[in-house]
Amino acid sequence: MSQKNIFYPFIVLLCLFGGTLFGQQTLTGTTTDETGETLPFVNVVIESLSIGTTSDLDGNYTFEVPNQENLEITFSFIGYASQTIPYTGQSTLNVILGEDTNLLDEVVVVGYGTQKKSDITGAVSIIKVEDAKKVPSTNIAELLRGKSPGVQVTLTDPSPGGSSSIVIRGISSFGGSDANKPLFVVDGVPQEDINGINSEDIKSMEILKDASSQAIYGARAANGVVLITTKRGKKGELKIAYHGYRSTQKLVRNFDLYSGDEWVQLRREAYRSESGRLNEDGWEEYEPDDFVFTPFQLDVLGTGKYINWEDEVINDATQQSHSVSLSTGSDKTSLFSSFSFFDQNGIIPKSGYARGTARLNLDHKVNDKFTFGTNIYLTADKTDRRSGSLNFITLPPLAKVFDDNGDVIRYPTGEIEKTSPLWNINESTNEFFTNRFQMTVFAQYEIFKNFKYKLNTSITRKSGQGGTYQTRLHSSATGVLGKATLSGSIDKDFLIENIFDYNLDINDNNRMDFTFVQGISKGSKEFSKTTATEFPNDLLGYNGIASAANILPVERRVVERQLLSFMGRMRYYFNDKYLLTLTARRDGASVFSENDKWGVFPSVAVAWKAHLEPFIQNLEFVDELKLRISHGSVGNQAIAPYTTLGLASAENYLFEGAVGGGYSPGRSLFNPDLKWETSTTSNFGVDFGLFKNFLVGNVEVYKASTTDLLINRTTPGSTGYSDILVNIGEVENSGVEVGLTANVIKKKNFEWSLSSTFSANSNKIIKLSDEVDENGNYLDDLSRRRFIGHPISVIFDYKYDGIWNSQEEIDGSHMPDSRPGDIRVQDINSDGKIDAEDRVIIHKDPDWYGSLGTNVSFGGFDLYAELYHVAGAIKYNNYLAGFNEGGSLQGVLNGIKVDYWTPENQTGTYPRPRRNEFPSNLGTTAISDATYTRLRTVSLAYHLPDIITKRLKLSDVTIYGTATNLVTWTDFLSYSPETTVGAYPDGKNFLFGIKITN
């Protein structure tokens, strides 16, 4: 390192404290826009010296310019075209900044390089990162919600440190969530999950949605690609930014549980229906209370002190986050570094998540031809896991939570099947620690003019360590004197890519560029787990495992997967109006069968910038109009390693106490012939900007067909296997996506814009196997509820048709075995009986979903609000129909309050409670409309006025408050329309934060 670099930080510091070490001249001036209005906050910068100032509220600036030759001053302001003016020693310089009409022409990361937005030929969504970050979250997927059409984000685990799933343009694979997960590429390195990333580090996010843009990632791109680029250092003085927030989460529900008295009545009804003694109306008589209730329950009933379990267990949860980032750079070296700390308490006592991250992104330019850089990213987190479920709210209200001393009562309902949730929380520890280290090193060398070689390498190590302990008093560890598990995992990944770039400018009208990539990558996962029981005492928890008397069999798993890839891309620009992109990637994956390891994924895309044609240029109101068409294929390799080999798992046995080492093939039959799943997509897109970019947007229409689907087919039980993975069948996704932004008002002190997204996707199974019926139509897979011509996600059940009110109705009906109070289902084929033929197919996927957001900036205030709407989604609400979820109306558990049928309440829409019977066809009542509209975000920010920030020697201080999930309109009975009652809900969140930049 040269001396200059060593002293570099000092130089930066000198700059920072506004040194006047050199001779200076004072330059003053006014900044105005084209209409003559003054422009405040314009950046006035001499980039070569990394010094600058900004204009004040009246557009006036004063700048001390050093006495040097050949200085250039740059004036810039967001939304306006920057101007760079040579400084010739004058003392006044007034500048008029013109509006930047071509806002669209940002540079976009497209994978293995960048491209001007206007040159893109595929369907690429660019996320407005600043809007996205207005709902700060460790759950990065949530940042994407509602920000891009075609991208459906669904909360899967809202518990502290939880996650969401992202589905881009519908489900195309039967492999479950893992096989439908997009590929995440962070700074050029594919990763399994992105939740480790500090959202403050994110500079840009793009989503590749069609095969032409995805094809560069070939075999892993079938579910779309999410590209994330982190911030890098910029030449200039040290910029320090702080962002901190605190938030409180509150649970909101749209259903009632039975109150104490209501539950008592429910139980009486459940017993009554089986009493067998009839009154004069022919209905059963009630049983006496001392028959219906246990002595314990009678006791509580007498006192009337009913328990609301929600109040007893659930707390408001808080979060806090602090993040500091530093950015600076010299001519040769620049760095970006950040540190963050995040801490979250769950709504269940003792649950929580804490995380620290650190990043260093470094770039160094050795000479004009050779540059290199590195990204180092570290995270450490700790999760305190508790019950992942709120199932305890179904505990009966006839209970006692605390004894006279205020201690938790172990069996609050007097029954030993039901241990108090608080008891188990107190008697257990469940901690999980993750440490992640990722280092990327890249170098670029210009071998000759326009021909560059880039090396991209990365290693990742992720270690997880889990420890659980259940004391001898915990319900799962009674009798075994305490139980501990200690688990450890190490994930190792490496990537090496050789990337060649060649630009060929044939002449002004013909430009071409070529990219060739060769890469290898490998990932392995090692997992071990030890379980032990019989601890001498509970003092040390799981760390006392060495003193446990009984060590249970140790688990160990190692899986590895390798990938070899070659990719070539050619982009051709003719006249800058006609664009062509050709891409092909060839991938080899270890997980496939010996003869089918390789797959080739080609694509082609063309685009036409129509607005550059004279006949469109004549249309005043059109600023941009670009048409795009693409076609190509990508793959999916989401199967587990060794699936094609056929493995036998350990099945040990005992003979008179001696262990015999046994093996047997598992429940899935191996298939030696597995190969890639291939998705072929055609995409048609239009990008437009109208009326001086008053209205900016894009429309995409696509159709994707996935063939050679990796389908887990249920095998007949008589084969001895449950299923087999096969390459067969075809699924089609087609849809429309619209993204629109209206820049309604755009004045310097008042801006108002509206943006919306709309996505509709239709998912259809074309073929599941080669088997056909007598008419030559492909057969359904009934056992897996998969039907030709219907989407993948369906419910297949009878159709609820009310409740039978009387025996007269039942006699001679299609359900002769029913009794009054039973559920009536529809005889769909009207054959007078209910059998398998009467089940109907119900589609679960939403018809469409979208968002509407608005941004208002006025003075120092920014207001952002966003509505999110999911239309026509159907979900199965197991809390309306499950025994363990309190849905079965047997008077055993509490549950969602419903209008159940009794002889006196014949308008009830749920069946008659019966103590010993699970109501027939109860599942039909649980099929619920999960359409919802949610005011997802309201965020108000205030930028402290310049006068104050200047005095504080800061460039910006913003305080803001964000409310999340403020209002939800839905008929789906739950805490949150995306999860059922028992799942850890995402409640209302109120957040207050501050951002400070020097």
Please, which of residues 443-462 interact with other proteins by CB under 8 A? 445, 447, 453, 455
Query: Is the CB of 198 or the CB of 297 nearer to other proteins?
Result: 297
Is position 590 an interface residue for other proteins (rule: CB under 8 A)? Answer: yes
C-alpha to C-alpha distance for 235 and 186, rounded to whole angstroms: 23
From 652, 777, 906, 909, residue interacting with other proteins (rule: CB under 8 A): 652
**Interface with other proteins by CB under 8 A: which range of 69-77, 227-235, 855-863, 913-921?**
913-921
Cα angle 371-373-375, degrees, rounded to a multiple of 5: 165
- Distance from C-alpha of 781 to C-alpha of 264, rounded to nearest angstrom: 44
Q: Which of 302, 266, 273, 306 is nearest to 287 (CA)?
A: 273
For tokens 């007078």, name the residue: 832
Residues 476-495 that bind other proteins (CB under 8 A): 478-480
Which residues in the 917-956 window bind other proteins by CB under 8 A? 917-918, 920
Among the listed ranges 229-237, 516-524, 731-739, 977-985, the one in contact with other proteins (CB under 8 A) is 516-524
Question: Tokens for 471?
Answer: 């004391």
Cβ of residue 570: shortest distance to other proteins, in angstroms? 20
Q: Which of 723, 929 has the CB closer to other proteins?
A: 723
C-beta closer to other proteins: residue 291 or 621? 291
In terms of CB distance, is 714 or 958 closer to other proteins?
Answer: 714
Q: What is the DSSP string of 228-279?
A: EEE----SEEEEEEEEEEEEEEE---SS-BPPHHHHHHHHHHHHHTT---B-
Phi then psi for residue 753, to 5 deg, are -135, 155
Q: Which of residues 781-840 bind other proteins (CB under 8 A)?
A: 782-783, 817, 835-836
- By CB under 8 A, is residue 776 in contact with other proteins? no
Instruction: Work out which of 72, 651, 899, 971 binds other proteins, going by CB under 8 A.
Output: 651
Span 93-122, contacts to other proteins by CB under 8 A: none
How far apart are alpha carbons 985 and 250 in whole angstroms? 10
Find the binder of other proteins among 673, 831, 899, 971 (CB under 8 A).
673
CB of 111 to other proteins, least distance (A): 19
Q: DSSP class of residue 440?
A: E
Examine residue 663 and tell whether it contacts other proteins (CB under 8 A). Answer: yes
DSSP state of 289: H
By CB under 8 A, name the one of 88, 367, 507, 916 that touches other proteins: 916
- The reply on whether position 642 binds other proteins by CB under 8 A is yes
Q: Considering the rule CB under 8 A, would residue 86 count as an interface residue with other proteins?
A: no
Nearer to other proteins, 193 or 651 (CB): 651
d(CA 597, CA 772): 30
Q: What is the token pair recorded at 740?
A: 């629109």
E strand or H helix at 424, and its extent? helix 421-426
Q: How far is the CB of 62 from other proteins (least distance, A)?
A: 49
**Cα 130–134–140 angle (5° rounding)?**
85
Give the strand pairing for 225-230 and 183-186. parallel
Residue 268 beta carbon to other proteins: minimum distance, rounded to whole angstroms: 13
Cα(339)–Cα(129) distance, integer angstroms? 19
277: contact with other proteins by CB under 8 A: no
Please report whether residue 670 would count as binding other proteins according to CB under 8 A: yes
Residues 709-728 binding other proteins (CB under 8 A) are: 713-722, 724
User: 380-418: buried (b, 16+ CB within 10 Å) or exposed (e) per residue?
Assistant: ebbbbbbbbbbbbbbbbbbbbbeeeeeebbbbbbbeeeb
With binding defined as CB under 8 A, does residue 615 bind other proteins? no
- The piece of 421-429, 656-664, 697-705, 786-794 that touches other proteins (CB under 8 A) is 656-664
Closest CA to 726 of 680, 772, 673: 673
- Specify the residue, 344 or 485, whose C-beta has the smaller distance to other proteins: 485
**Of residues 491, 429, 430, the one with CA closest to residue 464:** 491
Neighbouring residues of 441: CB distance < 8 A, sequence distance ≥ 6 = 372, 373, 374, 455, 457, 458
Does position 23 interact with other proteins (CB under 8 A)? The reply is no
Q: Pick between residue 419 and residue 980 the one whose CB is nearest to other proteins.
A: 419
**Stretch touching other proteins by CB under 8 A, among 57-65, 322-330, 391-399, 668-676:** 668-676
Tell which one of 406, 660, 776, 812 touches other proteins (CB under 8 A).
660
Radius of gyration in angstroms for the set of CA atoms belonging to the chain, rounded to a whole number: 32
Question: Is there binding between residue 519 and other proteins (CB under 8 A)?
Answer: yes
- The nearer residue to other proteins, 17 or 653, going by C-beta atoms, is 653
Among 49, 71, 378, 496, binds other proteins (CB under 8 A): 496
| Interaction mask 527-546, other proteins, x per CB under 8 A | ------x-------------
CB of 712 to other proteins, least distance (A): 13
Buried b (16+ CB within 10 A) or exposed e, 68-77: eeebebebbb
Other C-beta atoms lying within 10 Å of the C-beta of residue 991:
22
Candidates 82-90, 335-343, 559-567, 971-979 — which segment interacts with other proteins by CB under 8 A? Answer: 559-567
Q: Residue 522 CB, nearest distance to other proteins (Å)?
A: 8
Nearer of residues 641 and 689 to other proteins, judged by Cβ:
641
Distance of alpha carbon 137 from alpha carbon 142, whole angstroms: 7
Min separation Cβ 787 and other proteins, Å: 13
Could you give the angle at the alpha carbon of 139 between the alpha carbons of 133 and 144, nearest 5°?
Answer: 50
How many angstroms separate the CA atoms of 63 and 84, rounded?
A: 15
At residue 932, what are phi and psi to the nearest 5 degrees? -150, 160
Residue 518 binds other proteins, judged by CB under 8 A:
yes
Q: What is the DSSP letter of 136?
A: -
Nearer to other proteins, 295 or 776 (CB): 295
Tokens read off for 24: 């200076």
Round to whole Å and give the CA distance between 694 and 461: 48
The answer to whether 144 and 868 are in contact (CB under 8 A) is no
Shortest spacing between CB 369 and other proteins, in angstroms: 9
Burial of 320 (0-12, 13-18, 19+ CB in 10 A): middle
Question: Which of 334, 533 has the CB closer to other proteins?
Answer: 533
Q: Does 514 bind other proteins (CB under 8 A)?
A: no
Binding status of residue 879 toward other proteins by CB under 8 A: no
- Residue 656 binding other proteins, by CB under 8 A: yes
Which residues in 396-435 contact other proteins (CB under 8 A)?
A: 414-417
Which residues lie below 8 Å from residue 614, measured CB to CB, with a gap of 6+? none
Figure out which of the listed residues 117, 585, 597, 869 binds other proteins, where binding follows CB under 8 A.
Answer: 597
Q: How far is the CB of 402 from other proteins (least distance, A)?
A: 19
616 is a contact residue toward other proteins (CB under 8 A): no
- 755 contacts: CB under 8 Å, gap ≥ 6: 128, 739, 740, 741, 742, 852, 853, 854, 855
Pick between residue 280 and residue 770 the one whose CB is nearest to other proteins: 770
Q: Which is nearer to other proteins, 64 or 673 (CB)?
A: 673
Stretch 280-339 residues interacting with other proteins (CB under 8 A)? 287-288, 290-292, 294-295
Applying CB under 8 A, the site for other proteins has a residue count of: 89
Whose tokens are 């690429």? That residue is: 124
Q: Shortest distance, CB of residue 888 to other proteins, whole angstroms?
A: 11
